[in-house]
Structure formats: structure tokens, C-alpha cells
């Protein structure tokens, strides 16, 4: 018997996850998120939660979306030609937090579910989970990177000893700026097209990642939020944010899928940092704190 998928259970989890993260971050920052609900003409909608010019976060976005359609956009159908032409729905929670303090890393997390419905007798629904989280420091601290990776490893341990190793490698490979030949940050975990454990256990794995986010990130925020900084650090943070923008606009599958599926542009691009700088062929001074990011952190490394 084919295992029944339960999109409504995923929907309920994702909405609850968004609410829990927003509440926790509001307590840390002291400022409330703007709640912006929206509808998509082709079907579905979502709720974009945005905090700007907070006490801790310069910009923090936590978006929930549930969108439906009759024809897959190229970003999805190229990888899954068997799903082309089928009715589909996609739902997920995606967040990016850009702090004021350059000693707090930027963070990204996403958990999502996709299903293309069977149309003819003998066909089965095509479905998968995806997601993960990754950390992008400006001034790296080893204990922060170890903590972030350890929480992810512990979250995945109940599902099998190799999942953290697999997902860490996938994260390192995915969040890589090919045109720069450098990682976006210190990684984390990433998975996509994931259905190998069956619906119940694949969903449980996704929940484990989503539920681990606050434990992985907020202790780092609390440790760094009062660390003194000046114009030099803010300038370097703005420069490194340029790499974040480049990745999101060129490589990020969620951004590409959202724009190709006629999603809400403001919600898709809420991950963008508010202040960014680019320089022509700039290199940090040897031995400087800025150079240490490249030599000690933007490298392939086993953090735990």
C-alpha cells in the first residue's frame, strides 16, 4: 500500500514554526515584526513577517508561503521532468536575519515541502522535503561555528549517523559562489528532494531541523550582541553582505523558484540586507581581523 502523504500536517507545523521563531526573536530584539499577509492570484498565499531597524537586527525576515499551480516553473520541472504538467503545491518557511553588530553572523534557514499530484490511474504523487540552515559570519568565532554545527548534528542523529555528514557536505557544495570560488559562510546542513525515509520519517527529519534553529542561533546572538564595534567592522560587514546578495540572486533555488512561479516579489526578496557595498578587486590586509575570515573560516572544515 502506498504511504499517504499529509500536506495539512506539514502546513500546520510550518505555520507554528514561523510563529515560534517570530515570538522568540521579538523577545531578543525588543521590537515587533510587521505581519504582512498576501494572496497569490494563481492560488495560495502566505504571511511575511519583517523586522527592520530593530535593537539587534537591522533586518529580519521570516516568511511562510503556501502556493499552488497547474504548471511547474522551469526551476522545478527541469530537475523533475516526470512532474511536468501536474497540479502542484509548495509550502515552506524561510528566514534570513541580518544583525546590526558585525560580530553576530547572518543566518539563513528554510524548511519546505513540495508535491505534484497524480492525474491518471496508476500514477503516484511526487513529493519531497527540503531545507536546512547555514551561518555566515563576518568576524568568525570558532565556538560559534562549533555550536551551530553541533546542534545540527544532534538534531539529525536520531535518523542515522550519516545524515549530518551528508547534509553538511551538500550545504558546503550548495552555498558556494562559483564565480568567486569561495563559500558563502561556514555552512551548516542542506537537503533537497528528500523522501527516502518515507513520508512520516522524512517529515520528522524536517521538523527536527526546523525545531533546532532557535537553539542553534540565539545563543550566538546573546553572546555577541553587546560586543563593541566601530565603522571599520560595519564597513567590512557591508562589503561581505555583497556576497550574500550575489548568491541569492544568481544561485538560490528558492529565489529562482519564487520569481519563476510568479510569487510575491517583496516576500521573495525580504532576505536581502538593507545596506550593502561592493569594491573593485578588494583584498583585506594580511594578518588583519578581516583576513582571518578568509584564512580560518571560509575554508573546508569539520567543525564537530
The answer to whether the CB of 205 falls within 8 A of the CB of 197 is yes
Please tell me which residue in 66, 98, 108, 147 is annotated as part of the active site. Answer: 108
Q: What is the DSSP string of 84-97?
A: TTS-EEEEEEEEEE
Cα distances from 259 to residues 127, 252, 253, 254, 268, in angstroms, run 21, 11, 10, 9, 7
Using CA atoms, how far apart are residues 169 and 166, in angstroms rounded to an integer? 5
Which residue has 515584526 as its cell numbers? 33
Q: Is 108 a catalytic residue?
A: yes
The answer to whether the CB of 189 falls within 8 A of the CB of 168 is yes
Closest CA relative to residue 11, chosen from 116, 81, 91: 91
Give catalytic residues, as residue numbers. Answer: 108
Amino acid at each position: 500500500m502506498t504511504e499517504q502523504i499529509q500536506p495539512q500536517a506539514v502546513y500546520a507545523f510550518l505555520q507554528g514554526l514561523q510563529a515560534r521563531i517570530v515570538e522568540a526573536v521579538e523577545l531578543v530584539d525588543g521590537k515587533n515584526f510587521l505581519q504582512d499577509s498576501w494572496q497569490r492570484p494563481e492560488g495560495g498565499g502566505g504571511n511575511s513577517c519583517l523586522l527592520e531597524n530593530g535593537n539587534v537586527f537591522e533586518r529580519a525576515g521570516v516568511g511562510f508561503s503556501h502556493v499552488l499551480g497547474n504548471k511547474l516553473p522551469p526551476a522545478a520541472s527541469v530537475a523533475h521532468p516526470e512532474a511536468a504538467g501536474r497540479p502542484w503545491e509548495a509550502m515552506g518557511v524561510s528566514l534570513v536575519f541580518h544583525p546590526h553588530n558585525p560580530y553576530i553572523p547572518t543566518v539563513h534557514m528554510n524548511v519546505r515541502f513540495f508535491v505534484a499530484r497524480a492525474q491518471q490511474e496508476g500514477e503516484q504523487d511526487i513529493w519531497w522535503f527540503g531545507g536546512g540552515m547555514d551561518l555566515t559570519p563576518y568576524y568568525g568565532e570558532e565556538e560559534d561555528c562549533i555550536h551551530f554545527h553541533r546542534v545540527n548534528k544532534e538534531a539529525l542523529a536520531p535518523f542515522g549517523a550519516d545524515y549530518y555528514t551528508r547534509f553538511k557536505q551538500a550545504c558546503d557544495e550548495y552555498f558556494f559562489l562559483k564565480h568567486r570560488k569561495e563559500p558563502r559562510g561556514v555552512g551548516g546542513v542542506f537537503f533537497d528532494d528528500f523522501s527516502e525515509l518515507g513520508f512520516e520519517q522524512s517529515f520528522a527529519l524536517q521538523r527536527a531541523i526546523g525545531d533546532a534553529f532557535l537553539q542553534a542561533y540565539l545563543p550566538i546572538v546573546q553572546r555577541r550582541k553587546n560586543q563593541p564595534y566601530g565603522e571599520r567592522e560595519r564597513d567590512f560587514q557591508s562589503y561581505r553582505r555583497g556576497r550574500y546578495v550575489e548568491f541569492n540572486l544568481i544561485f538560490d533555488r528558492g529565489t529562482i523558484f519564487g520569481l519563476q512561479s510568479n510569487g510575491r516579489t517583496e516576500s521573495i526578496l525580504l532576505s536581502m540586507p538593507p545596506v550593502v557595498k561592493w569594491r573593485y578587486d578588494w583584498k583585506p590586509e594580511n594578518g588583519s581581523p578581516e583576513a582571518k575570515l578568509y584564512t580560518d573560516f571560509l575554508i573546508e572544515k569539520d567543525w564537530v
